[in-house]
A = this chain, B = another copy of it.
Amino acid sequence: MPVFLNSDDADFERGFQAMLGAKREDSTDVNDAVTAIIRDVRARGDAALCELTSRFDRLDLTPGTLRFSADEIAAQVARVTPEDRAALMLAAERIRAYHARQMPEDASWTDPEGATLGWRWSAVAAAGLYVPGGQAAYPSSVLMNAIPARVAGVERLVICVPTPDGIINPLVLLAAQLSGVDEIYRIGGAQAVAAMAYGTETIAPVDKITGPGNAYVAAAKRQVFGRVGIDMIAGPSEVLVIADGDQNPDWLAWDLLAQAEHDADAQSILITTDPAMAEAVAAAVERIIPTLDRAAIAGASWRDFGTLIVVRDLDEAAVLSNRIAPEHLELCVADPEGLAAKCLHAGAIFLGAHTPEAVGDYVSGPNHVLPTARSARFSSGLSVMDFVKRTTLARLTPGALAAIGPAAVRLAASEGLQAHGASVQARLGTLNERLSE
């Protein structure tokens, strides 16, 4: 049964905290297994990749067949229906248009002391995108990861996608093609992450790895973090819908179930000012679940993590939303902009009754790779910023060094860093010569 809470109840705080603290992830410790896989790939390269792919994906590869050939890609892409192709192209175009606005700007200025300061952005040289295989091989995720990288100017873009029993979703390859990626390897799991981080005979290493994956992929990304950059450690997905009493309960029920059908660990939460709305939505959810193809998954998610909360007013809803820091936040209220201004911690906000979260998964334009598990408190969804880095710039004139250098000398002395100070003094002609005799 989903949890029903009312903020007027005496034990509300206890129930809310239990909901926040509910452990939604499998606690299986996969770290040791992942460490061994990474070590194996580093030591044996392609041979390890082929052996692990045979074991985990029941697919026999050689170094020469790790990568999809141009002919294989063309043959798979040709199987996509015109309708699916058109939909994917619309999505790609809208995602590209949104992300093109994210490119950060360089800056340069000269201050009164004569120091020219600023910064410059440049693209990561090579990025690797992990795409889960099987049922979770989402072409939309290919677009959401690859297009920001392309917009950023990443020159080399690699995709790793496992193909269990050799099966590949043709739309994944089409999405890669639409994003301009043709270096695609049919490997997955921790071994794919290791190959992208450290390289093998066939696969050159990349500088940054992004993309979702299972517990092995997440653990591998955490372990290679530092050697390469990573986007984030993705957890189970979640949605918070805040609704007033003037909504269509069926629409809200579908929104909650769109989240629940992802994963038995996904979480769907409704906060409403109207107790009758909470009841109506709960009833609609129960009515719909048995009709779903993924009834077992959605049903388990709703049963274990589904939550309905009745609050006094929308201000209280905003306070609770900020404590939840949801990945997806839908505001189905009369004044969604007014409420959004009070909801400070959320990955993505969907405003108004005609903006279901599902359009954000595919076609609205913003990225669907978003911070999960309360991490919207401190992190952002995937963007062009994930594929660029900033170099700070400073150029001092002799006059600028004379103006601000003595303060650096003083602070260096206070920190006991003599050569720091001397490097400034030598240029200012104030270095005590004894030091360099």
- Contact of A348 with B404 at beta-carbon distance under 8 Å, contacts A115-B364, A117-B366 already known: no
- Please state if B86 and A251 are interface contacts (CB–CB under 8 Å): no
- Please state if B416 and A345 are interface contacts (CB–CB under 8 Å): no
Q: Which one of A207, A233, A408 has the highest number of Cβ atoms from chain B below 10 Å of its Cβ? A: A408
Asked if A46 CB lies within 8 Å of chain B CBs, one says no
Chain B residue at smallest Cβ distance from A386: B378
- Please state if A101 and B111 are interface contacts (CB–CB under 8 Å): no
User: Which B residues are CB-close (under 8 A) to A420?
Assistant: 258, 261, 358, 361-362
Copies in the complex: 2
- Contact of A233 with B226 at beta-carbon distance under 8 Å, contacts A261-B420, A378-B207, A418-B293 already known: yes
- Please state if A354 and B419 are interface contacts (CB–CB under 8 Å): no
- Please state if B354 and A408 are interface contacts (CB–CB under 8 Å): no
- Please state if A363 and B404 are interface contacts (CB–CB under 8 Å): yes
- Please state if B122 and A401 are interface contacts (CB–CB under 8 Å): no
Partner of A394 from the list B117, B365, B371, B394 (CB cut-off 8 Å) is: B365
User: Which B residues are CB-close (under 8 A) to A419?
Assistant: 254, 257-258, 260-261, 288, 292, 294, 298
User: Which B residues are CB-close (under 8 A) to A204?
Assistant: none
> When each residue 212-235 of chain A gets 1 if its CB lies under 8 Å from chain B and 0 otherwise, what string results?
000000000010011011000101
- Please state if B356 and A423 are interface contacts (CB–CB under 8 Å): yes
**Sampled A-B contacts (27; CB under 8 Å):** A87-B407, A87-B410, A120-B340, A207-B378, A222-B222, A226-B373, A254-B423, A255-B423, A258-B419, A258-B420, A261-B417, A287-B436, A291-B435, A294-B416, A294-B417, A347-B391, A348-B391, A349-B393, A351-B393, A352-B395, A354-B398, A359-B404, A364-B394, A366-B393, A370-B392, A378-B389, A380-B391
Chain B's nearest CB lies how many Å from the CB of A337? Answer: 8
Stretch from A90-98, A269-277, A307-315 contacting the other chain: A90-98
Partner of A392 from the list B347, B415, B423 (CB cut-off 8 Å) is: B347
User: Which B residues are CB-close (under 8 A) to A91?
Assistant: 407-408, 411
Asked if A135 CB lies within 8 Å of chain B CBs, one says yes
- Please state if A435 and B288 are interface contacts (CB–CB under 8 Å): yes
Chain B's nearest CB lies how many Å from the CB of A332? Answer: 11
- Please state if B395 and A351 are interface contacts (CB–CB under 8 Å): yes
- Contact of A401 with B360 at beta-carbon distance under 8 Å, contacts A261-B420, A419-B261 already known: no
Chain B's nearest CB lies how many Å from the CB of A167? Answer: 14
- Please state if B111 and A407 are interface contacts (CB–CB under 8 Å): no
Asked if A59 CB lies within 8 Å of chain B CBs, one says no
